[in-house]
Structure 1
Amino acid sequence: MKFRKIQEGKINFYVPKGRIYDAPVFFNPEAELTRDISISAIQVFQKQFKNKITICDALAGTGIRGLRYAKEITGIKKVILNDKNPKAVKLIKKNIRENKLSRKCISSKEDANILLRKNVFVVIDLDPFGSPNIFMDSAARSIYHKGFLCVTATDQSALAGTYPESCLRKYGIKSIKTEFYNELGVRILISFIILNLARYDRAFIPLLSFSTKHYYRVFGRVEHAGKIANLLKDFGYVNYCPKCLERKIGNIEKIDSKKHVFENCGLIYLGKILNKKFCKKVLADIRKRDFRLKKDEEKLLKMLIEEAEMPAFYYDLHSLAKKLKTNIPKTEVLIKKLKKRGFKASRTHFCSTAVKTDAGYKKFCKLT
């Protein structure tokens, strides 16, 4: 295996030469942004935890994620960099030595599920190529009862409604095609995490969730079983009419008084997927660092903070304009109009041409 040496953050490391998807050990350079945000999110959690933490990078690949955690986060006790691919483990060891992190980093060659079932970790990071579904039960068993869980999903086509049966098979929820597909995908992923942890008397509280490029990323704090009941109260159905784009959330509906025939998705989590206070602290931490993509990360976090208090699901103005056969005002003009009428309104990171509001479908359409 031939290598090339690159730098990301404060780490110099080796990656295989050649095309990304043909390489014997996977490394995704486009995930730098999510690695940066993960560093700041875990740092904020560590300060709240007030003790040194152990982190499990369960699917480490080249080891870049875990190495950066060890180097760039304070309050780290140990970072376990695990991969079942022997070539990956060999490369991880090489990169640990290169960065002189042998005191903090431990390489591991184990099936991720077996590793997780044998140990308890304060922080678990699941960053698979594809779906995290096959690792979630083991993560639920392994995570410390006051821990922090970070999960990536790259199978957007299943979660976002392109392949509903695939979503049902992997996540136990059948997705539907909508114009708010990215948020629906993130919420299905969060629902899956909540329900898996609830089986082991752990409450997963979403703190930071976003969609960018080809993946969904979710961060949440684990709390005691007493919080599960409140989480489950926020589960309901999304009822969606693909003909007129009407949507209703809550109880399941097949048809309403206006003869809207709804497609249904659920039960899914309809509560908050962003904690405004936590997001502000992550933004403050990012601002202290010299990340290469700092401007993009600040922009994303500002938008997440703006939409944190908004209700579930956004309105894509392009889709509505097409359906209503009308010219819709510019986004900022529409947001001001909504706020003037006493409604909450904001942009959303999920879609550059969309608005989030509590106005309701009919009132929103009238205002456009």
Structure 2
Amino acid sequence: MCICHLPCRNLKPSSSGDQASGRHVAHYHCVVCSVTIARKTDMVSHLKRHVNKGETEASYSGSSDVPFDEPAPSGQAYEIMKELGTNVQLLPNHTTPQKSDTYFNRKMKTNRQLVFCSLAVLAEERNPIECLDAFGATGIMGLQWAKHLRNAVKVTITDISDTCVKMIKENCELNNIRVDGGSRGPRGPDGATSEVEGSPIATVEVAKMDANVTMHLWPFDYIHLDPFGTAVNYLDAAFRNVRNLGIVSVTSTDTSSLYSKSPNVTLRHYGCHIVRTEYYKELAARMVVATVARAAARCNKGIEVLLAVALEHFVLVVVRVLRGPTQADESAKKLRKLLHCQWCEERVFLRQGTMVDDSLPCNCHGSLPGRTAVQLGPLWCGPLFNIVLEGGGVTTQVCKRWSHCWVPSQFSFSCPALMFGLSPAKRKSGDESGNVVKKMKSDASLDHPPFYYSIHRHSIRGMNMPKLNKFLQYLTEAGFRVSRTHFDPTGVRTDATLEQFKSVLTKYSVPTYTNANAAQSSASAETTQ
């Protein structure tokens, strides 16, 4: 299927006096991005780039075919895109945030799926819940909540842009969702939307308002923050009015500061000092959690990390809010400095009152001249996922729901419930509601080792390493707790030190010349026969 119009000859207005105003120029129109290209060879290259990005399957319609009263601004063509059963219209420049208010990123589909699953898990605990999509843009996320969860949620979508608010309302009509003008009163009997045939399937409140103002005015059970870049400017307002045992999810896309490419910006936004390490993705996730914990503590609230994910160009952190100064103090105690060896990349969290010298298990500081250790952070030293709550844990439920419904075939995500062979805590007998989250007493044996080691980063030259799954088995047989991690496909999370990690790796690695000699001997034997 061709995705460009046939070449047409139109009048090209003259921009200078030496060009004839009636000159005819051939040009080609790309339906994908509505760009106009004069040369045919350039158009072919342009189409190949769209094909490589997989951008030829969506349906598009011109401004005259838009099913709304008003045409697209400036005669631009609308693109109708469908994701998870929800239709949204997009402007041609939706992929450029600097040029479009209604920014939409197809690569954030995994992020939207994880956020939806965490909201669905919370909807099973309390019903209905009030949730906020503070940065609506096209409204795709809030519309998915309303369309799939229906009466279980009361969705509010806000944005500061007039163009975005208008587009969100039009997308609501496109999905047969009623738009609430801004009154936060009941929505039908008992706040529900009627299910009469032909009536709207859900109701969404759309408002033109700054995210900080919205979160200061109204309380919510679920808040999702996904600004363009960092979300540190909105954390204080998010934790001010969020309800007890509610959930706050934060998406950060400022990878330059998260991945230590701009250390001055990192220090300014997150108040942390970091360097580039082999575990930089988990370092970024712990830095975001630490910033969230400090914002919650300023409001006398603690947090419980349910999920922390670092994929592609974003870091997603989902936390449960625990009210009270005691909970805030417990969360603040989990903010510690990290001692990192810049030579062998061994790392360990510093405990309160611990001296810096001789804290690392490696001997680099004694065998090498100068100082090899550096302090990073402060970072979150607690677990990055929850598997010890009753019912299998919120993280486990999110992973199961996500893997059951929408896991892409090219992405593998290991469920944290299977890590280290830990079994979820059982529900107490006599408790039938299951709606109240009961925290277990902290057990040092259930603490998960922070960070991970990359098997390729610590490989031995001239040696053939064992397969990753086999190596995990060898570490388990040696008495260590091990698991894989989504932060790095070649990473191994274990409670073994780096020296112990390398010793097991060396023990089961085979010299490369052994394989070569064995192959040569086998070939010689066949020749002799």
TM-score, normalization: structure 1? 0.92
Aligned partner of 1:341 in structure 2 is 478
Q: What is the percent sequence identity of the aligned residues?
A: 27
Q: Which amino acid aligns with 2:286?
A: R
C-alpha distance in 1 between matches for 2:254 and 2:419? 24
Q: How does 1:103-114 map to 2 (within 5 A)?
A: 104-114=203-213
Q: Among 155, 172, 176, which residue is 2:271 paired with?
A: 172
1:271 maps to 2:382: yes
Larger RCO, structures 1/2 (Cα 8 Å, 6+ apart): 1
Deviations 1:307-343 (A, max 9, x none): 4863110111222227x78654332222111100110
Cα deviation for residue 211 of structure 1 reads 0.9
Q: How does 1:116-155 map to 2 (within 5 A)?
A: 116-155=215-254
Q: Which amino acid aligns with 2:93?
A: G
Aligned partner of 2:299 in structure 1 is 200
C-alpha distance in 2 between matches for 1:261 and 1:285? 44
Deviations 1:239-264 (A, max 9, x none): 11122222222247655365262111
Q: Which amino acid aligns with 1:11?
A: T
Q: Which amino acid aligns with 1:55?
A: C
* Unaligned residue ranges in structure 2 (runs of 5+): 1-72, 179-201, 366-370, 388-392, 421-446, 506-529
* DSSP 3-state at the match of 1:313: coil
Q: How does 1:6-17 map to 2 (within 5 A)?
A: 6-17=81-92
C-alpha distance in 1 between matches for 2:124 and 2:165? 30
Aligned partner of 2:138 in structure 1 is 62
Q: How does 1:253-292 map to 2 (within 5 A)?
A: 255-256=357-358, 258-259=364-365, 261-276=372-387, 277-286=393-402, 289=405, 291=406
* Unaligned residue ranges in structure 1 (runs of 5+): none
Structure 1 vs Structure 2 CA RMSD:
2.1
Cα deviation for residue 303 of structure 1 reads 4.3
1:231 maps to 2:331: yes
* DSSP 3-state at the match of 1:146: strand
1:311 maps to 2:449: yes
1:93 maps to 2:169: yes
Aligned partner of 2:118 in structure 1 is 41
* DSSP 3-state at the match of 1:31: helix
C-alpha distance in 2 between matches for 1:14 and 1:213? 25
Q: How does 1:353-364 map to 2 (within 5 A)?
A: 353-364=490-501
Cα gap change, 1:75/1:175 in structure 2, threshold over 3 Å: closer, same or farther?
Answer: farther
Aligned partner of 1:215 in structure 2 is 314
1:29 maps to 2:106: yes
Please tell me whether the aligned partners of residues 176 and 264 of structure 1 are also in contact (alpha carbons under 8 angstroms).
no
C-alpha distance in 1 between matches for 2:335 and 2:403? 35
TM-score, normalization: structure 2? 0.65
Cα deviation for residue 222 of structure 1 reads 0.9
Cα gap change, 1:325/1:197 in structure 2, threshold over 3 Å: closer, same or farther?
Answer: farther
The alignment covers a number of residue pairs equal to 362
C-alpha distance in 2 between matches for 1:311 and 1:14? 45
Please tell me whether the aligned partners of residues 339 and 347 of structure 2 are also in contact (alpha carbons under 8 angstroms).
yes
Q: Which has the higher helix share?
A: 1
Q: Which amino acid aligns with 1:280?
A: T
Deviations 1:25-58 (A, max 9, x none): 101111111111211111111212x220111100
Deviations 1:277-308 (A, max 9, x none): 2222123323554x4x45457x32x3444448
Please tell me whether the aligned partners of residues 101 and 137 of structure 2 are also in contact (alpha carbons under 8 angstroms).
no
